[in-house]
Amino acid sequence: MFDPRDPYERHYWHYESRRPLSVAQIIALQSVDVETAGLIWLLLEHGTSLTVAGPTDPQPGVGKTTTLNALLQFLPENTALAYMSGMYENFSFTRLPDIDPASTYALCNEVSDHLPIYMWGRIARRYLMLPGQGYHIATSVHADTIDDVLYMYQHDLRLSPADMRRLGLIINIGLIGHTYPARRRWFSAHYIQPHIDPDRPDAVLPVPLSLWNSADDSFEHADAPILSDLAGWIGMPEDEFHAALARRIACLDDLARGGGVDMQTMFEAISELNAKEA
């Protein structure tokens, strides 16, 4: 059975990439900008669930695992990580007497039917419903667009609209051009609106946070009303939300200079910022 304490097994089960990158290094490679990454940081540290989606066309090295691992550094302090065992998962961690769903992230290497070490069918559906029990999830999928992710979750895996509204962040990444080394971009970042729209009670509404503009290789960001909604959804006063976001953007701008700092230095910088704010 999978032992997440063993580095070899984490690689074998596709939980870690062989060349890990920090978010600062990902920014330095221009895969994403500091504004987008700063907003994702703020949302994740407030317990948002996460899906990282990559293209359906099999492309090795697109970066789903690297991106997911990098973003895990933004999870709330004292977060407990529960590693899923693919189709062998029995969710026994939910029956532990001292488990605290509110501070637990369930990690799944991938939701797909490609390998038994991934999750699909009823196992994947049960996993994706964990936020309904108070847990948070972080996983990756093969999907080209936000619409493809939503279709997979709602139709292939038969999640209800209520379950879909608890899934938080969905980031679609991919490769651009035909040069070597490959150039990666975060094509889009969306937040699933957690509340029912009275005019469309069965609708699942993805709110755009960041969209890559291929014309000039730039990123378009959420406007003020969306940021105001986000502050309310994660339970922050709006002025505190904007101040915290500005601090994270400034921190990432500094860390991403040159080639960007490594994972350890990134961890130390996050801890330092948390200590200052505390």
For 204-225, what is the HEC assignment? CCEEEEEEEECCCCEEEECCHH
pLDDT score at 207? 98
Q: What's the pLDDT tens digit per position in 25-84? A: 999 999 999 999 999 999 999 999 999 999 987 666 688 999 999 999 999 989 999 999
Q: Per DSSP, what are the bridge partners of residue 119? A: 111
In a domain, 107, yes or no: yes
Single-letter amino acid, residue 207: V
Percent of the chain residues past pLDDT 70, beyond the cut: 98
In a domain, 6, yes or no: no
pLDDT score at 161? 96
How many C-beta atoms lie closer than 10 Å to residue 3's C-beta? 11
Q: How many angstroms separate the first and last alpha carbons of the chain?
A: 40
Q: What are phi and psi of 173, to 5 degrees?
A: -120, 165
Mean pLDDT is lowest, of 8-17, 191-200, 219-228, 261-270, for 8-17
Q: Tokens representing 23?
A: 């978010």
In a domain, 1, yes or no: no
Mean pLDDT is highest, among 164-178, 192-206, 243-257, for 243-257
pLDDT score at 4? 82
The range of the structural domain enclosing residue 129 comes to: 17-273
**Arithmetic mean of pLDDT, 171-198:** 90
Percent of the chain residues past pLDDT 90, beyond the cut: 83
In a domain, 278, yes or no: no
Alpha-carbon gap, residue 230 to 38, rounded angstroms:
13
In a domain, 11, yes or no: no
Q: Count the helices and strands in the chain (H runs, E runs).
A: 10, 8
- Whether residue 269 is predicted with pLDDT greater than 80 in this model: the reply is yes
Closest to 70 measured CA to CA, from 273, 277, 264, 237: 264
pLDDT score at 56? 82
Q: What's the pLDDT tens digit per position in 107-150? A: 999 999 988 999 999 999 999 999 999 999 999 999 999 999 99
In a domain, 86, yes or no: yes
Closest to 10 measured CA to CA, from 28, 35, 18, 138: 18
pLDDT score at 13? 82
Let me know if 145 is exposed, middle or buried by CB neighbors in 10 A (0-12, 13-18, 19+).
middle
- Could you tell me which residues come within 8 angstroms of residue 187 by beta carbon, excluding any fewer than 6 positions away? 145, 172, 173, 174, 211, 212
pLDDT score at 60? 60
* Cis peptide bond N-terminal to 181, omega within 30: yes
In a domain, 5, yes or no: no
Closest to 104 measured CA to CA, from 125, 131, 73: 131
pLDDT score at 2? 76
When the pLDDT of each residue in the chain is averaged and rounded to a whole number, the result is 94
In a domain, 9, yes or no: no
Strand order across the 183-192 sheet: 80-83, 104-111, 136-142, 50-54, 169-176, 183-192, 206-213, 218-221
Q: What is the largest CA-CA distance in the chain?
A: 54
Alpha-carbon gap, residue 117 to 103, rounded angstroms:
25
Alpha-carbon gap, residue 208 to 220, rounded angstroms:
9
CA atoms within 13 A on the CB side of 146: 22
pLDDT score at 183? 87
Domain count of the fold of the chain: 1
Could you tell me the CATH number of the domain that includes residue 165?
Answer: 3.40.50.300
Alpha-carbon gap, residue 84 to 58, rounded angstroms:
23
